[in-house]
């Protein structure tokens, strides 16, 4: 039952994300410009089965907009934008449920928890900022890998102070042990879940060219400057 649910979810996501990417490439005239600059081998599976994935983009935007966005509250909004994009990209099949001490990524409803995260931690400095979610467990996490991995969104300001301004944005998954690899093998993981993650993440990174961040559901950093 577990394997069938995971395979069905991944297959559905592949089709939906493919449609999303076709639509995304047709859009022009956005206020910013995002280019995917992910490393050649952006997803690696270690001998112990742990996965490391690094997806990156270079974002150019008006310097005035950068100054408006560079504050703790907007960093929190960036996290919310990521989760909202995941829901929209899957047409609501995948949703995020917020709890006081957790975040759940679910397939339609709570019992089908794909991933469960700890609440995020934030770092914001003069030239870089990051959001980090520790991965607790979920259907997509192998039993041996529970409590090991994390998801991080990292933003770094460009060194040049000219126009346009620039940001480098990374979405990193590290020390993640996928259940589909432990049950069905690494080749199956690479051909399904790994591809879906890359496609969704690249589409999210491209969407940042809109320079429109969603309002945080929690608002923990709201009012901080």
How many other C-beta atoms are found inside a 10 Å radius of the C-beta of residue 74?
18
> Domain locations in the chain?
2-90+117-210
The string of pLDDT tens digits covering residues 5-36 is: 555 555 555 555 555 555 555 555 678 899 99
DSSP 127-190: SEEEEEEEEEE-TTB-GGGTTT-EEEEEEEE-S--SSSEEEEEEEEEEEE-BHHHHHH-HHHHH
pTM greater than 0.85: yes
pLDDT less than 70: residues of the chain? 1-29, 223-225
The string of pLDDT tens digits covering residues 194-205 is: 998 999 999 999
Contact yes or no for 94/87 (Cβ under 8 A): yes
Contact yes or no for 152/170 (Cβ under 8 A): yes
- The token duo for 201 is 């993440």
Give CA–CA dist 98/193, Å, rounded. 23
CATH entry 3.30.365 includes domain 2-90+117-210:
no
How many other C-beta atoms are found inside a 10 Å radius of the C-beta of residue 4?
8
């Amino acid at each position: 039952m577990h394997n069938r649910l995971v395979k069905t979810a991944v297959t559905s996501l592949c089709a939906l994300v493919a449609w999303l990417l076709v639509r995304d490439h047709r859009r022009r005239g956005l206020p910013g410009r995002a280019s995917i600059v992910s490393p050649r081998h952006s997803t690696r599976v270690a001998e112990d089965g742990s996965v490391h994935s690094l997806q990156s983009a270079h974002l150019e935007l008006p310097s005035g907009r950068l100054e408006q966005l560079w504050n703790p509250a907007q960093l929190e909004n960036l996290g919310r934008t990521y989760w909202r994009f995941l829901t929209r990209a899957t047409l609501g099949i995948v949703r995020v449920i917020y709890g006081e001490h957790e975040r759940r990524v679910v397939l339609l409803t709570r019992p089908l928890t794909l991933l469960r995260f700890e609440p995020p931690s934030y770092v914001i400095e003069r030239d870089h900022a990051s959001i980090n979610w520790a991965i607790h467990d979920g259907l997509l996490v192998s039993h041996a890998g529970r409590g090991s991995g994390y998801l991080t969104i990292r933003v770094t300001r460009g060194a040049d102070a000219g126009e346009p301004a620039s940001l480098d944005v990374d979405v990193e998954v590290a020390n993640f042990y996928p259940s589909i690899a432990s049950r069905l093998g690494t080749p199956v993981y690479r051909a399904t879940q790994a591809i879906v993650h890359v496609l969704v993440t690249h589409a999210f990174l491209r969407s940042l060219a809109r320079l429109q961040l969603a309002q945080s559901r929690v608002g923990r950093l709201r009012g901080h400057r």
